[in-house]
Structure 1
Amino acid sequence: MGKYTNVLYEKAARMTTVVCGFLFSLFSFVYLYVFQRDVLEALHFSLAHGKTHFAPMGSAVVITLILLLLRWGVNSLLGLKGYIRSLSYLPSFLVLCALTDVGRTVYMSAYHTVWSWLLPVLILIFVVFAYWLRGLYRNQLNTEGSRLGLVNYNLLILFVQCLMTVLVGNTNRAFHHELEVERYLRDREYVEALEVGKRSLESTHTLTALRAMAMAHAKLMGEKLFEYPQYYGVDGLFFDEDSTAVLRFTNDSVYDLLGGKPYVGDKPLDYLSELCYTGRGKYIALDYYLAGLLLDKQINKFAQTIDDFYESEDSLPRYYREAMAIYRSNHSDSVFVRNDSVMQEKYIRYKTRQTEFASPLEEQNYMKREFGDTYWWYFDYQK
């Protein structure tokens, strides 16, 4: 009976080893390839200085295999078994933490990480601790116990290590969105870039500028601009001057796209106006200028610019037509007014709806829900 029990326990131990190995491999691959793909690519670009190509799937597979070998080496050295066998994965999980604990300064020339010294220190501490633990519980580790306990304890230890890795790695949603949009921009997949975080009400300055670049490339600025949060006004068309707030794309990227750099002291709208009216900029600069006027709520100047650059029979994009509806309601006799009866009727319904609420707060909330993707809502409510 005792021999039969030993065989069952050994089978349970082998099964535990296989299951833990499979679960670790699955976690490592999915974590690296799905959740931290862009973070891993950013780290690769920083360390390789952009000189080598990053293969996301290949990298995830190779790293996972290396971490499995590391676990095998650690357990060969320490001989952990029984209820704490899966603790031998800890150095591998620490490597995953080091690879994905990456911040916004990753592209800076002076980038460094505490993991360069922290990782070997933590692994050394773990080895010392594991030797001490093995010596302290030598008899217990060599004693066969409950098969169910063997499986449950090892799975619990593995789960705790997975949770630790997720908590340590970068989980900032805005940062991940920025990296993903940058990737699509580099691959010239502009429509895909505009799908990233589309339903989120959060938006950083960098993400706003990246989306503007994607819309300009896709020639969708007038159709898509106010489908996304615009918290930065005309400044959101350009990147922050703080180098720690931007990633691989900077204002130089925008200037190249528009066709020229601003002169010293130029304000954004002055710079964009000069590009358009002198012909120094590319045609794409006109969309930037019109978007800047809308973001700055300069409706009169916007109408003048539309008249200067568009023929009367030209079909205007959605948000340009919405802006012209505002202009027409204030200047019905102006020569800049275009006859867009459908849009004008929608604007009248919008203005009528504004009068149906008991308080300003209720009005703003309900109007946001019904008209939050219109230029009208931005014009009336966005501070």
Structure 2
Amino acid sequence: MSNYSVKDGTRVVRIACAVLFVSFTFLYLYDYQDDILAMAQHVLSDGLTHYNRTIGAVLITVVLWLLQIGFYALFRLQGRAHAVTFFPSLLTLTVITSPDNSIDEGFSFGAWLVAWPVLMLICTGVMWYARQVQQYEPVDSSKGFLSRRAWINYVTMCAMFVFVGLFSNHNDVFHYRMHVESCLNDSLFDEALATGEKSNKTDSSLTSLRIHALAEKNQLGERLFEYPLVGGSAAMLPNGKSVKYLMYPEKNLYKNLGCWLKQHMSTMHYLKFIHQHKLATKSAHDYLLCAYLLDGNLDAFVHSIGLYYDIHGQMPKHYREALTLYNHLRSNPFISYRSTIMETDFQDFQTLIHKYNNPVERAAALRDTYGNTYWWYYYNQYSCKSKYSL
């Protein structure tokens, strides 16, 4: 095989690997890790700078590509080991996309402080050895993008891409949280509510963010129990521990509720305080009612709802569901409420409860049919613990 053919084949492999690297890195940064990087920059700069996903993805991709070019220039790996020159860049990409929600407690590279230099040394040793044996590689009879040499490099690149995916931050709930916070910062409430809506995974912080987004859309009483919920009423307001915002200003939440108090209070204490002092907004009324529902406190809910809604007029869906449930649980209800449509649906819900003897099958059937109702939430959270049985 002529020198021209060998050089041409090497150039093809280099171009193909570079295209794979640049495409993967840019899309990974732009479409998947953009909110994580925005969070990291916001926390590390104390909110003084703002991450731009396009500029950030382009700049990081270019810098990492230049790092690969530097290792290629140093070791001149042109054969089957050429893809290894991309590992330092992909390792660095993994490190910068690995921060989690503890970054606000103090920045630390964690295990990467040891792993990054060790892996870089190992990779450097592998490249040095590959350079020594490169001249002894057998000559490929095939040429072009689908040659044996090319396929070996493609497989190596894919293996390194998997490495990036496995060891960077791939926590679904954390990604949902950061994207919701980004959307709230831009007042994109619909997009915030659509984020992760088909997933059953959540945590207290994501629950709090979704509750705020629903309140901004005046849909709290209509759609709250369509989402997976964790933490009860305590998850409604940030507490700096189990419920915290990393990018979104808490003052925006409290402004929507009525006032921001410097003194920390529990959710119920805060909501009752602003109502007693006539500071509560309409959103705060819904917060209070939904707080009672989240805690399964139907009696407090029923004693409060008449202050903010006409129980014989139009009410949000979940409030009607809660009143229907309450009237079935109490022999002497404080409020007598009856809706023909709600009554029919609730009877079907009860029928489904008694249809299955297996608790797992029963729960799955109820969740599939009534997973977007307050009835399912109450049954799942409180029915077994309550003296009142559904």
Q: Give your verdict on TM over 0.5.
A: yes
The residue correspondences of 1:1-383 to structure 2 (distance < 5 A) are: 2-3=1-2, 6-108=3-105, 110-114=106-110, 115=112, 119=116, 122-135=119-132, 137-140=133-136, 144-147=139-142, 148-242=147-241, 247-249=246-248, 254-260=253-259, 267-312=266-311, 314-330=313-329, 336-383=335-382
What per-residue deviation string (whole Å, max 9, x for no partner) do you get for residues 129-185 of structure 1? 4234423x15325x6444432112221221222121111111111111111111111
User: Is the contact between residue 307 and residue 336 of structure 1 (CA under 8 Å) also seen in structure 2?
Assistant: no
Structure 1 CA distance for aligned equivalents of residues 358 and 131 of structure 2? 69
**1:364 CA displacement:** 2.9
- Code of the aligned partner of 2:108: H
What per-residue deviation string (whole Å, max 9, x for no partner) do you get for residues 355-380 of structure 1? 33334444333222221211112222
What per-residue deviation string (whole Å, max 9, x for no partner) do you get for residues 315-359 of structure 1? 110001111112333568767334532222322332233333334
Task: Specify the SS of the correspondent of 2:202.
Answer: coil
Q: Quickly say closer, same or farther: Cα 1:264–1:183, change in 2 above 3 A.
A: closer
Structure 2 CA distance for aligned equivalents of residues 112 and 361 of structure 1? 42
**1:51 CA displacement:** 2.2
Gaps of 5+ in 2: 383-390
User: Is the contact between residue 331 and residue 337 of structure 1 (CA under 8 Å) also seen in structure 2?
Assistant: no
Q: Comparing 294-303 with 172-181, which one deviates more in the overlay?
A: 294-303
Q: Quickly say closer, same or farther: Cα 1:163–1:363, change in 2 above 3 A.
A: closer
**1:104 CA displacement:** 1.2
Structure 2 CA distance for aligned equivalents of residues 211 and 71 of structure 1? 42
- Code of the aligned partner of 2:151: N
Structure 1 CA distance for aligned equivalents of residues 38 and 67 of structure 2? 22
What per-residue deviation string (whole Å, max 9, x for no partner) do you get for residues 86-127 of structure 1? 21111211221121111112233x212144675456435533
Q: Quickly say closer, same or farther: Cα 1:214–1:129, change in 2 above 3 A.
A: same
**1:57 CA displacement:** 1.6
**1:31 CA displacement:** 0.9
Q: Comparing 351-360 with 37-46, which one deviates more in the overlay?
A: 351-360
**1:192 CA displacement:** 1.2
Structure 2 CA distance for aligned equivalents of residues 346 and 244 of structure 1? 34
What per-residue deviation string (whole Å, max 9, x for no partner) do you get for residues 278-336 of structure 1? 31233311111000111112222212211122235541100011111123335687673
Gaps of 5+ in 1: none
**1:227 CA displacement:** 0.5
User: Is the contact between residue 322 and residue 375 of structure 1 (CA under 8 Å) also seen in structure 2?
Assistant: yes
- Code of the aligned partner of 1:354: I
Q: Comparing 224-233 with 118-127, which one deviates more in the overlay?
A: 118-127
User: Is the contact between residue 41 and residue 54 of structure 1 (CA under 8 Å) also seen in structure 2?
Assistant: yes
- Code of the aligned partner of 1:112: S
User: Is the contact between residue 77 and residue 134 of structure 2 (CA under 8 Å) also seen in structure 1?
Assistant: no
Percentage of pairs with the same residue: 28
- Code of the aligned partner of 2:270: Y
User: Is the contact between residue 206 and residue 240 of structure 1 (CA under 8 Å) also seen in structure 2?
Assistant: no
User: Is the contact between residue 212 and residue 221 of structure 1 (CA under 8 Å) also seen in structure 2?
Assistant: yes
Partner in structure 1 of residue 387 of structure 2 = none
What per-residue deviation string (whole Å, max 9, x for no partner) do you get for residues 28-48 of structure 1? 111111121111212222333
Q: Quickly say closer, same or farther: Cα 1:47–1:335, change in 2 above 3 A.
A: closer
- Code of the aligned partner of 1:300: D
Q: Quickly say closer, same or farther: Cα 1:344–1:159, change in 2 above 3 A.
A: same
